[in-house]
Structure 1
Amino acid sequence: MTLYTVRIRDRRTDTLYTCQVPDDRYILHSVENQGANLPFSCRNGACTACAVRVISGELDQPEAMGLSAELQHQGYALLCVSYARSDLEVETQDEDEVYELQFGRYFGKGKVRRGLPLDED
């Protein structure tokens, strides 16, 4: 087992956490055990509540089904299913911002029109 130093800046509270994280444990679980109070929801990589942007370092997130490959390549990660692969510096993200980046192209394509009659057979 290798230990890495993980620095997390929580933008909501402007708090900086510095923790030692083993390479075989999820980052979120490890830093919570060391007193970090970070946002999360599902804990299984399906939502974006624990999303971060990687500032420096490397991590592995093979189970991050809540983030597209495109967002992962842009440096986004989900701490609940991420493993540190080097010393790491990350910054929490607003869940709604990440959700919009991920799914925004599917929504907001115009106004919903109400009161239109249904086609009759």
Structure 2
Amino acid sequence: MSIRRFRRRERKICLGDFHFQGNVGNLLVDNGRLSAVIDWGGFNVGDPACDLQPAWSLFRGESREKFRNELEVDDASWLRGRGWALAQAVIALPYYWKTNQRMIRQAIEVMNRTCDMA
């Protein structure tokens, strides 16, 4: 693929702002509803599919599908979101290995969920 073609394709993907750290610890819930998103240190401009990470860090089965349907996510964005979730989980392992076992357990769970194609 040529650099020019790659850049055209990349521009189509990079359409908006994203939070990037959509893990369970950054999502505040009140009475069963999302009430706030905290820790905006990773806020950036780029692929909004980054913000689909909660699909694998927070939801399972039917709730994951409901999340996707509510957001009307296309297949390509969904796969990129899955990739972002996996990437964040892999990065978390060495970072938290000695300091935060809860985050390690969550990262392993996300890796299992993202690698489960069922």
TM-score when normalising by structure 2: 0.26
Between the two structures, name the one with larger relative contact order (CA 8 Å, sep ≥ 6): 1
Question: Higher strand share goes to which structure?
Answer: 1
Question: Higher helix share goes to which structure?
Answer: 2
TM-score when normalising by structure 1: 0.25
